[in-house]
Amino acid sequence: MNVFQRAFISIKRQKGQTFILIGVVFLLSTSVAGAISVNQAIMNTDKALRAQLPAVAVLRQDETTFANEWNETGIWPQRENLTTGLLHELGSHPYVRSFNYSVQAHGFYSETLVRSWYPELFLGAYDPIPDAIDDFSLSHWFTTPFERFILNGVGNSNIWEMEADIIHLVKGRVFNENEIQQSIPVAVVSQSFLNANNLSLGDIFILEHMIHDYRVPDDERYHTQHVLASRTYNFEIIGVFDHEIPDSRVLYGRDFQEHIEILNQIFVPATFVESIYDLYLEIIDDQEVLEMFQATDNIMDLLEFSNMYFLLYDPLDLPAFHSFTDVIIPEFWMMSDYSFVYADIAESMALVRYVTDGLLIGVTLAFSIVLGLLLLLFLRVRKNEIGIYLALGESRLKILGHMLFEAFTPTLIGITLGLFVGNVVSSEISTNMIHQHLRDIAADESRIVEFYEVLGIRHEITHEEMLELYEVRMDRQTIIIFYTISSGIILISIVMPMFFVLKMNPKNMLMLQ
């Protein structure tokens, strides 16, 4: 009779012991199965939610950490400036399909060009105000012959406002790779800007890059006699865009200002704007003046980065991309994505996972201890039988195999039953917990809902849609993890007490019996 036949006969003979073993294992494995099923469901739900996100990451200032640092130390933190080299390093990551950024320059002036301005579109609190004033015009604040224009440098040929469908190219083209690489002064402007200045596609307009004496009071600074240095640039108009307004043709305060500012955007290659820093060092010979600018950070303020976005191939790569960027981006900067839209269910699932993790650890320890003590008790009752096997010359390895098979068979039945029951029970309990927590969050009037748009993408998901994605199921991975953990616990619980018994002398075992 081989080991397995003898073990099978022992199982049938020891029916009470077998049912007790199945029952204990079933109860303990139900909790283990539930905890594992819930953890896998949370991981699958997070993956499903993330798969729906736009594959966009945005580099922006970490205002929360910045404010906390200031509150804790009382010292205004110094935020390290970004560089184009860093942005290109981030954009060259294998996960990134494309990236873009904007960098603005404010030191460009003209005595002949004017800003685009449509006061008839502005609606005040009650009535249209025909004499509305352009608050962004330099002449509104100072007595000066100059008008100031802001250049919006684009990191690559894709103007993100066009990708976001905020503006539309109506004539010409956007920048090519040569213009980007060679810092060529070409521009994409609005049709309104052309109309206001009697210009057309292909024309040249002139702007002067001026450095004013900042030691002069503001109301006197913007005059020719206070220009420390300047350089003239001829910009070729290669593209024309338009920005649509509502059919009513009347805009309220902020919408009106945004519309006017869009119409006055002058898009140029970012490399051209970035070269301005070198121009300051070249055209300022006066060491005292140079030190003045460096001390007040006026030169560095020219490099004002914005709209720094990174489009990935797959939204599931966002966590790995964040891990990469967190190491190299400066302090008080952060990489964000749209994962905040499912922050509510993420918080609920984190709470459930905290409970199930504690349950899994506790039940695993209890499983090992209870099963080990129970098997040790069963083995001590059968010491006489084991002693006889050893006295008859049976090898300890065969006895170990016999007892292992005899104990493992009913425990395998118990954990299989526990898998099914634990999956059903945990599904009901965890779904109710998450649903209740989401209701509590929705009822909290003090909570702050984070929201922003990138590239015109607005991604939203309701609590009901979130819950539809949460599903506790017995997939292959859940089953494999459950049987791996449960089998490991059972093997350890069986083998340890067997070694304790088998190391005893057969004669002593029979005499004790």
Q: What CA–CA distance (Å, rounded) separates 197 from 496?
A: 90
Q: What CA–CA distance (Å, rounded) separates 4 from 210?
A: 94
> How confident is the model over 360-388, as a mean pLDDT?
75
Q: Say what the pLDDT of residue 283 is.
A: 58
| 240 neighbors 201 (Cβ within 8 angstroms) | yes
**By mean pLDDT, which of 21-30, 139-148, 371-380 is the weakest?**
371-380
Q: Say what the pLDDT of residue 296 is.
A: 47
> How confident is the model over 254-274, as a mean pLDDT?
82
3-state secondary structure of 232: strand
Same domain, 397 and 419: yes
Q: Say what the pLDDT of residue 298 is.
A: 44
pLDDT band per the 50, 70, 90 thresholds, residue 451:
low
Q: Residue 493, class by beta-carbon neighbours within 10 Å (0-12 exposed, 13-18 middle, 19+ buried)?
A: buried
Same domain, 214 and 294: yes
Same domain, 446 and 361: yes
Please tell me the total count of domains within the chain.
3
Structural domain for 488, as ranges? 3-53+344-512
Q: Say what the pLDDT of residue 254 is.
A: 63
Q: Is 399 a residue whose pLDDT tops 90? A: no
Q: Read off the tokens for 234.
A: 């001829």
| 478 neighbors 40 (Cβ within 8 angstroms) | yes
pLDDT band per the 50, 70, 90 thresholds, residue 11:
low
3-state secondary structure of 350: helix
Q: Is 60 a residue whose pLDDT tops 60? A: yes
Counting every residue, how long is the chain?
513
Q: What does each C-alpha distance from 51 to 11, 91, 451, 468 come to in angstroms? A: 50, 21, 19, 15
Burial annotation 89-120 (CB, 10 A radius, 16+ → b, else e): ebbeeebbeebbbbbbbebbbbeebebbbbee
DSSP state of 299: T
Q: Say what the pLDDT of residue 385 is.
A: 67
> How confident is the model over 73-89, as a mean pLDDT?
81
Q: Say what the pLDDT of residue 504 is.
A: 62
Same domain, 296 and 317: no
| 151 neighbors 268 (Cβ within 8 angstroms) | yes
pLDDT band per the 50, 70, 90 thresholds, residue 324:
very high
Q: Which of 102, 143, 119, 479 is nearest to 309 (CA)?
A: 102
Same domain, 410 and 435: yes
pLDDT band per the 50, 70, 90 thresholds, residue 49:
confident
Same domain, 387 and 328: no
- CB neighbours of residue 381 within 10 Å: 12
CA 166 from centre of chain: 25
**How many distinct helices (H) and strands (E) make up the chain?**
20, 10
Q: Say what the pLDDT of residue 511 is.
A: 55
List phi, psi (to 5°) of 158. -90, 115
Q: What CA–CA distance (Å, rounded) separates 186 from 188?
A: 7
| Residue owning tokens 């015109």 | 456
Q: Say what the pLDDT of residue 300 is.
A: 44
Q: Is 94 a residue whose pLDDT tops 90? A: yes
Q: Say what the pLDDT of residue 204 is.
A: 94
| 512 neighbors 396 (Cβ within 8 angstroms) | no
Q: What CA–CA distance (Å, rounded) separates 188 from 236?
A: 9
Q: Is 191 a residue whose pLDDT tops 80? A: yes
**By mean pLDDT, which of 128-137, 180-189, 310-319, 388-397 is the weakest?**
128-137
> How confident is the model over 283-299, as a mean pLDDT?
54
Same domain, 356 and 464: yes
Same domain, 488 and 502: yes
Q: Say what the pLDDT of residue 418 is.
A: 87
Q: Is 63 a residue whose pLDDT tops 50? A: yes
Q: Say what the pLDDT of residue 252 is.
A: 58
Same domain, 117 and 82: no
Q: Say what the pLDDT of residue 93 is.
A: 92
> How confident is the model over 81-86, as a mean pLDDT?
81
User: β-strand 227-242 against 168-172: which pairing, if any?
Assistant: antiparallel
pLDDT in tens, 299-322: 444 567 878 888 888 888 988 999
Same domain, 17 and 129: no
> How confident is the model over 48-57, as a mean pLDDT?
83
Q: Is 235 a residue whose pLDDT tops 90? A: yes
pTM of the entire predicted model: 0.64
**By mean pLDDT, which of 186-195, 335-344, 474-483 is the weakest?**
335-344
Higher-confidence position of 338 and 187:
187
Q: Residue 394, class by beta-carbon neighbours within 10 Å (0-12 exposed, 13-18 middle, 19+ buried)?
A: middle
**% residues pLDDT > 70 (the chain):** 75
Mean pLDDT rounded to a whole number for the chain:
78
DSSP state of 81: P
Higher-confidence position of 129 and 50:
50
Q: Say what the pLDDT of residue 125 is.
A: 41
Q: What CA–CA distance (Å, rounded) separates 496 from 488?
A: 12
Same domain, 288 and 374: no
Higher-confidence position of 473 and 381:
473
Q: Is 410 a residue whose pLDDT tops 50? A: yes
Report CA torsion sign: 108, 110, 116, 122: positive
Q: How far apart are the first and last CA of the chain?
A: 25
> How confident is the model over 103-132, as a mean pLDDT?
69
Same domain, 125 and 200: yes
| 472 neighbors 41 (Cβ within 8 angstroms) | yes
Q: What CA–CA distance (Å, rounded) separates 155 from 268?
A: 9
3-state secondary structure of 303: coil
Q: Read off the tokens for 349.
A: 């699932």
Top mean pLDDT of 10-24, 134-148, 173-187, 442-456 is at 173-187
